[in-house]
Amino acid sequence: MQTLSVVVITRNEERKLRCCLDPVSWADDIVVVDSYSTDATVEIAETYTGRVFRRAWSGFADQRNFGMEQARGEWILFLDADEYVTGGLEQRIRELLRDGGDYDAYKIHRLEHFLRFPIRHGTLNPSYQPRLLRKGKGYWTGGAHAHIEVDGHGELGLIHEDLYHDSHNSLSDFIERINQYTTVDAEERILAGQRVGRLRLVLSPVGMAWKCYIVKKGYRDGFPGLLFSLCMGIYSFLRLVKVWQHGSRVEERTEGRAKDNPEGRAQSPS
């Protein structure tokens, strides 16, 4: 049987880290990459592994690539601290380790949860996330929605057993996490030169909530599906308003320079 490393990236995850690491304690190697947590995250991680690395946050992809470099196993399972391996998924991974696998990387079906209710519809579903990689056969790239690039542009296989995603089990948890993710998302859009007008700022969040609830059948998840759809609209709004705010600041600085130099005269160097 081939060996498995588990790489987990963390920051202030004391409430969820045991739920993440308990189901993978059977792995040959566990690597935790922590971004200087101020709670008991590191202490908890050290009860599972002696391989805890502390480094400043440098983005989802870069943190995972660093963890990948430390991993010793022939396969690497990448997890966030709010992702828990189910019994069915453990069995499927063990089979893959025994048989070798037909692909060098796999996307795993992630069962989304909101306020502890399973969300099986809406814009996030079906949710297959790149999480399993044969070591030396690929790397992570991207920003808020980082993904695995397989060497030689290889195809990723699919694992249908569930990875439990416990990201938004309270409203405060949801607000904290979407603030982080929308900031990273907005920064990517700003770097790409995206601009957001006022009309789009108003209409796009409404469209996102409608798409999640009606088009993607979020209504089939009952009342939690409605709440989740509304929160997806909020996510869209926060992402766009951060891009719009940046554009407004740029315009203000441009207008300010124009007022200081109304005739376009060249300014002498200071």
Q: Which of 98, 130, 165 is the last residue of a domain?
A: 165
What is the structure's pLDDT at 144?
Answer: 67
Q: What is the average pLDDT score of the chain?
A: 90
Specify the pLDDT at position 264. Answer: 54
Q: Where are the beta strands (DSSP E) in the chain?
A: 4-10, 29-34, 52-54, 75-80, 83-85, 105-114, 117-119, 128-134, 138-141, 147-150, 157-165
Farthest-apart Cα atoms in the chain, separation:
75
Last residue of some domain: 101, 130, 165?
165
Cβ pair 246, 187 in contact under 8 A: no
The residue that leads in pLDDT, 73 or 246, is 73
Residues 197 and 152 in one domain: no
Q: Which domain holds residue 140?
A: 4-165
Do residues 178 and 243 both lie within one domain? yes
- In tens, the pLDDT along 23-78 reads 999 999 999 999 999 999 999 999 999 999 999 999 899 999 999 999 999 999 99
Tokens 């891009």 -> residue: 243
Q: How many domains does the chain have?
A: 2
Q: Does some domain include residue 111?
A: yes
Burial profile 70-79: b = 16 or more Cβ within 10 angstroms, e = fewer: ebebbbbbbb
Residue 125 pLDDT more than 60?
Answer: yes
Q: Is residue 270 part of a domain?
A: no
pLDDT band at 86 (very low <50, low <70, confident <90, very high): very high
Residue pair 109/188 in contact by the 8 Å Cβ criterion? no
Q: What is the arithmetic mean of pLDDT over 182-211?
A: 91
Q: Does 119 have pLDDT greater than 60?
A: yes
pLDDT score of 269: 47
Q: What are phi and psi of 112, to 5 degrees?
A: -75, 150
Q: What pLDDT sits at residue 270?
A: 39
121 and 249 housed in the same domain: no
Let me know whether 188 and 68 are in one domain: no
**In this predicted structure, which of 116-125, 139-148, 161-170, 258-267 has the lowest mean pLDDT?**
258-267
Cα separation, 130 vs 186, in Å, equals 22
Is the domain of 231 the same as that of 158?
A: no
Q: pTM for the complete prediction?
A: 0.81
